[in-house]
Amino acid sequence: DVKVTQSSRYLVKRTGEKVFLECVQDMDHENMFWYRQDPGLGLRLIYFSYDVKMKEKGDIPEGYSVSREKKERFSLILESASTNQTSMYLCASTRQQETQYFGPGTRLLVL
Amino acid sequence: AQSVTQPDIHITVSEGASLELRCNYSYGATPYLFWYVQSPGQGLQLLLKYFSGDTLVQGIKGFEAEFKRSQSSFNLRKPSVHWSDAAEYFCAVGAWLTGGGNKLTFGTGTQLKVEL
């Protein structure tokens, strides 16, 4: 069974803080993704990575960066958190040309 | 660029009634289509997918979807809804990436409520 885990289910941060969201998958998947989910907007792709140390911008990369130093781990970084980054963040992974599997999500509140 | 439209934001059905959730997509090539379900506070679970072949696709939990190229649609159906089907449903279209895997574009979701 594919398992995608995210480091926190709920997170509360202050404006201006640096925030790290971690995602780990245990199925040796090449591709990993970060989405944010907002009511009425569905899921929007922030960044993705198809190999270690490789990253590509998604549809809404502004205010975010990512890191993939190991194949199983993909980190999303908010360099200076802002209130408009309050959202649900979902990580996903996939092998080549297969289905994306999602983690349980991290609900981030920026005060 | 691909896009997905789910025209129904909320749908309410009675338990035991049939269900159809609508999904229309826009994509320049052969689409790869998915339906995911999200229960409250949970991540997304794949219900079914269409890559090629038979246009009627069977999924988990008794769901099916039909790909209609002429209508650019991929509607999700279930003949008899159970109270546990109450959740949010997302349709997505995938585009293959150069390095492998696919980039998904999601619709805005349909919230399903089931009346007992």
Interface of B with A in 80-99 (CB under 8 A): 90, 92, 96-99
Q: Read out DSSP for B30-89? A: --EEEEEEE-TT--EEEEEEE-SS-SEEE-GGG-EEEEEGGGTEEEEEESS--GGG-EEE
Task: Determine the pLDDT at residue A83.
Answer: 97
Q: Cα(A32)–Cα(A25) distance, rounded to whole angstroms?
A: 9
Q: Cα(B19)–Cα(B5) distance, rounded to whole angstroms?
A: 18
Alpha-carbon dihedral A44, A50, A52, A56, rounded to 10 degrees: -50
Q: Which of A30, A43, A102 sits opposite B101 (nearest CB)?
A: A30
Task: Determine the pLDDT at residue A37.
Answer: 95
Is A103's CB within 8 Å of B97's CB?
A: no
Task: Determine the pLDDT at residue B99.
Answer: 64
Residues in chain B closer than 8 A to A44 (CB atoms): 106
Measured CA angle at B72 (ends B58, B20), to 5 deg: 45
Buried b (16+ CB within 10 A) or exposed e, A54-89: ebbebeeeeebebbbeebbebbbebeebeeebbbbb
- Chunked into runs of 10 residues, chain A (111 residues) has average pLDDT values of 88 97 93 94 92 90 96 96 97 84 95 97
Q: Which residues contact B53 (CB under 8 A, 6 or more apart)?
A: none
Q: Cα(B45)–Cα(B35) distance, rounded to whole angstroms?
A: 9
Residues in chain A closer than 8 A to B35 (CB atoms): none
Q: Cα(B116)–Cα(B107) distance, rounded to whole angstroms?
A: 28
Q: Are A54 and A77 in contact (CB under 8 A)?
A: no
- Measured between CA atoms, how close is B110 to chain A, in angstroms? 9
Give the pLDDT confidence of B45-93 residue by residue, as tens digits. Answer: 999 999 888 899 999 999 999 999 999 999 999 999 999 999 999 999 9
Interface of B with A in 36-75 (CB under 8 A): 36, 41-46, 49
The rounded percent of chain B whose pLDDT value lies above 70 is 97
